[in-house]
Amino acid sequence: MTGQSGAEDAATDLARTTEHAVTYARRVASTARARNERHRAENAELIKQFGRRQLSDSATERAPGVVRDAAEGFRSANGFPVPQLPSAAELFPPRRNQPPKAPWEAIPVTLSPDGR
Protein backbone atom coordinates (compact mmCIF):
# COMPACT_ATOMS: atom_id res chain seq x y z
CA MET A 1 0.00 0.00 0.00
CA THR A 2 2.97 2.29 0.30
CA GLY A 3 3.13 2.48 -3.50
CA GLN A 4 -0.26 4.16 -3.63
CA SER A 5 0.74 6.64 -0.98
CA GLY A 6 3.85 7.56 -2.98
CA ALA A 7 1.80 7.93 -6.16
CA GLU A 8 -0.73 10.11 -4.36
CA ASP A 9 2.08 12.24 -2.94
CA ALA A 10 3.60 12.60 -6.39
CA ALA A 11 0.24 13.56 -7.88
CA THR A 12 -0.31 16.11 -5.11
CA ASP A 13 3.18 17.55 -5.64
CA LEU A 14 2.60 17.72 -9.39
CA ALA A 15 -0.73 19.49 -8.93
CA ARG A 16 0.82 21.97 -6.48
CA THR A 17 3.80 22.63 -8.76
CA THR A 18 1.51 23.12 -11.74
CA GLU A 19 -0.69 25.52 -9.77
CA HIS A 20 2.37 27.55 -8.73
CA ALA A 21 3.67 27.61 -12.31
CA VAL A 22 0.31 28.80 -13.66
CA THR A 23 0.04 31.47 -10.95
CA TYR A 24 3.57 32.67 -11.72
CA ALA A 25 2.89 32.73 -15.48
CA ARG A 26 -0.30 34.75 -14.95
CA ARG A 27 1.57 37.24 -12.74
CA VAL A 28 4.36 37.61 -15.31
CA ALA A 29 1.86 38.05 -18.14
CA SER A 30 -0.05 40.66 -16.14
CA THR A 31 3.15 42.58 -15.46
CA ALA A 32 4.11 42.43 -19.14
CA ARG A 33 0.67 43.68 -20.21
CA ALA A 34 0.88 46.59 -17.76
CA ARG A 35 4.37 47.52 -18.98
CA ASN A 36 3.23 47.25 -22.61
CA GLU A 37 0.26 49.52 -21.92
CA ARG A 38 2.52 52.06 -20.18
CA HIS A 39 4.91 52.05 -23.16
CA ARG A 40 2.02 52.52 -25.58
CA ALA A 41 0.76 55.50 -23.59
CA GLU A 42 4.27 57.01 -23.49
CA ASN A 43 4.68 56.47 -27.25
CA ALA A 44 1.29 58.04 -27.96
CA GLU A 45 2.35 61.12 -25.97
CA LEU A 46 5.66 61.32 -27.84
CA ILE A 47 3.82 61.09 -31.16
CA LYS A 48 1.58 63.98 -30.11
CA GLN A 49 4.60 66.04 -29.03
CA PHE A 50 6.36 65.25 -32.30
CA GLY A 51 3.32 66.39 -34.27
CA ARG A 52 3.35 69.67 -32.35
CA ARG A 53 7.16 69.77 -32.60
CA GLN A 54 7.37 70.15 -28.86
CA LEU A 55 9.60 67.24 -27.92
CA SER A 56 11.48 67.83 -24.71
CA ASP A 57 15.18 67.10 -24.49
CA SER A 58 14.46 64.01 -22.39
CA ALA A 59 12.34 62.55 -25.20
CA THR A 60 15.40 62.15 -27.42
CA GLU A 61 17.65 60.70 -24.74
CA ARG A 62 18.32 57.06 -25.35
CA ALA A 63 19.32 56.22 -21.80
CA PRO A 64 19.34 57.86 -18.37
CA GLY A 65 22.30 60.15 -17.71
CA VAL A 66 24.08 57.74 -15.36
CA VAL A 67 23.92 54.90 -17.87
CA ARG A 68 24.91 57.16 -20.77
CA ASP A 69 27.89 58.55 -18.79
CA ALA A 70 29.04 55.01 -17.94
CA ALA A 71 28.77 53.98 -21.60
CA GLU A 72 30.70 57.06 -22.74
CA GLY A 73 33.40 56.36 -20.14
CA PHE A 74 33.68 52.74 -21.28
CA ARG A 75 33.91 53.74 -24.94
CA SER A 76 36.51 56.42 -24.24
CA ALA A 77 38.62 54.09 -22.07
CA ASN A 78 38.62 51.37 -24.73
CA GLY A 79 39.23 53.62 -27.73
CA PHE A 80 35.73 53.34 -29.20
CA PRO A 81 34.03 56.34 -30.83
CA VAL A 82 31.68 58.36 -28.63
CA PRO A 83 28.91 59.87 -30.77
CA GLN A 84 27.62 63.32 -29.86
CA LEU A 85 23.86 63.24 -30.30
CA PRO A 86 21.93 66.41 -31.15
CA SER A 87 19.37 67.80 -28.73
CA ALA A 88 15.63 67.72 -29.40
CA ALA A 89 15.70 71.38 -30.42
CA GLU A 90 18.34 70.62 -33.05
CA LEU A 91 16.47 67.58 -34.34
CA PHE A 92 13.07 69.24 -34.55
CA PRO A 93 13.21 73.00 -35.00
CA PRO A 94 9.92 74.74 -34.16
CA ARG A 95 7.50 75.34 -36.98
CA ARG A 96 6.93 78.85 -38.14
CA ASN A 97 3.41 80.06 -38.73
CA GLN A 98 3.82 80.53 -42.46
CA PRO A 99 1.38 79.52 -45.16
CA PRO A 100 2.45 76.57 -47.27
CA LYS A 101 4.32 77.31 -50.46
CA ALA A 102 2.57 77.10 -53.78
CA PRO A 103 3.53 73.96 -55.74
CA TRP A 104 5.54 75.97 -58.29
CA GLU A 105 7.53 77.55 -55.43
CA ALA A 106 8.12 74.33 -53.52
CA ILE A 107 9.85 72.45 -56.35
CA PRO A 108 12.95 74.10 -57.76
CA VAL A 109 13.04 73.99 -61.55
CA THR A 110 16.12 74.66 -63.64
CA LEU A 111 15.63 75.40 -67.31
CA SER A 112 18.19 74.66 -69.95
CA PRO A 113 19.76 77.61 -71.82
CA ASP A 114 17.27 77.25 -74.69
CA GLY A 115 14.30 77.65 -72.31
CA ARG A 116 13.14 74.06 -72.13
Taking the C-alpha atoms of residue 65 and residue 85, their distance in angstroms, rounded to an integer, is 13
| pLDDT the model gives residue 22 | 96
The structure's pTM equals 0.40
Positive/negative CA dihedral, 62, 37, 40, 45: negative
Between these two residues, 102 and 88, which has the higher pLDDT value? 102
Taking only the tens place, the pLDDT of each residue in 56-98 is 665 555 566 777 788 888 989 999 988 877 666 676 666 667 6
| pLDDT the model gives residue 95 | 66
Do 82 and 76 form a contact (C-beta atoms < 8 A)?
Answer: yes
Taking the C-alpha atoms of residue 3 and residue 1, their distance in angstroms, rounded to an integer, is 5
The pLDDT of residue 105 is above 80 = no
Q: Give the list of residues 6+ apart from residue 76 with CB closer than 8 angstroms, or none.
A: 82
| pLDDT the model gives residue 1 | 46
Domain range annotation of the chain: 12-79
The pLDDT of residue 23 is above 80 = yes
Per this entry, what is the length of the chain?
A: 116
Do 21 and 62 form a contact (C-beta atoms < 8 A)?
Answer: no
First-to-last C-alpha distance (Å) of the chain:
104
- The pLDDT mean for the chain works out to 79
| pLDDT the model gives residue 62 | 58
Taking the C-alpha atoms of residue 44 and residue 70, their distance in angstroms, rounded to an integer, is 30
| pLDDT the model gives residue 16 | 95
